[in-house]
Amino acid sequence: MSQKLCSICDKPMRQISIPVDRQVIRRVAGSARSASFTAFDFAGLGKPEAVRQALRRLVARGELARARRGLYFKPRAHPIVGTTGPDTLAAIRKLMERSAAEWQFSGAAAANLLGLSEQVPSRWVVVTSGNPRKVRIGKTGVEFRHAAPRNLLGGGRPAGLVFQALRYLGARGVTPARISHLRGRLDKKAKKELADLCSLMPRWMEPAVQQIVGMKARE
């Protein structure tokens, strides 16, 4: 492999080795404020053990914090609470990123995320095709509940989030105002996904879904 030459002296340029710690922090700084990280996110920056050691050093210096074992986030100053904790939703998504299991936020969480309810769940519940378990992310409890495939329609997608919210609200809770809210909130892709799932949903959901996506009623 040929070396880069200096444009002034025409001699080979020295390769400057940037410490893994600095490379990690640069990558974290360029990410969303709410992002969570695992060692896999920095796999290209060095050998696995070097990355793990860098993460431990950054935690010790306070530049990163642990949400739980193997899961990190960047703490930020807050005028009231002092230092922010991890973003629970981003952390859950990161935990499930490398999982082969289907999953989705369930019930009250789905309704809250879609703006259909102002009730913030005290405990986040995730339905999944994987094994049930309970974990803590920072100070927040998260329960993973095993669910049958019929209850995981649209897993990991906005359409699946709508499905979970409708299940939680029930037929009486799916009001015209909430239907109108979803119609305005969902983009074309999410509406297409929702329309594709409509025939697999319980019959009582179909009229609401048809109104949300603009489908004609099935005869």
| pTM of the predicted protein model | 0.77
Q: Do residue 196 and residue 132 come from a single domain?
A: yes
The answer to whether 108 and 115 have CB atoms below 8 angstroms apart is no
Name the residue with higher pLDDT: 195 or 10: 195
Taking the C-alpha atoms of residue 168 and residue 114, their distance in angstroms, rounded to an integer, is 12
118 with 202, same domain: the answer is yes
Answer yes or no: do 118 and 209 share one domain. yes
Based on the fold, state whether residues 111 and 207 are members of the same structural domain: yes
Q: Among candidates 107, 202, 193, 116, which has minimal Cα distance to 215?
A: 193
Residue 24 forms part of a structural domain:
yes
pLDDT by residue (tens digit) across 162-209?
999 999 999 999 999 999 999 999 999 999 999 999 999 999 999 999
Q: Tell me which residue of 77, 71, 75, 108 sits closest to 91, measured CA to CA.
A: 71
74 with 175, same domain?
A: no
How many domains is the chain partitioned into structurally?
2
Q: Same domain for 74 and 121?
A: no
User: Are residues 43 and 141 part of one domain?
Assistant: no
Domain assignment present for 123? yes
Average pLDDT of the chain is 87
Boundaries of domain holding 198? 99-213
Q: 186 with 116, same domain?
A: yes
User: Both 110 and 48 in a single domain?
Assistant: no
Name residue, tokens 């879904």: 209
Q: How many CB atoms sit inside 10 A of residue 178's CB? A: 20
> Based on the domain organization, do 109 and 209 belong to the same domain?
yes
Whole-number pLDDT of residue 203: 94
Task: Please tell me whether residues 202 and 105 are part of one structural domain.
Answer: yes
Which tops the pLDDT comparison, 118 or 12? Answer: 118
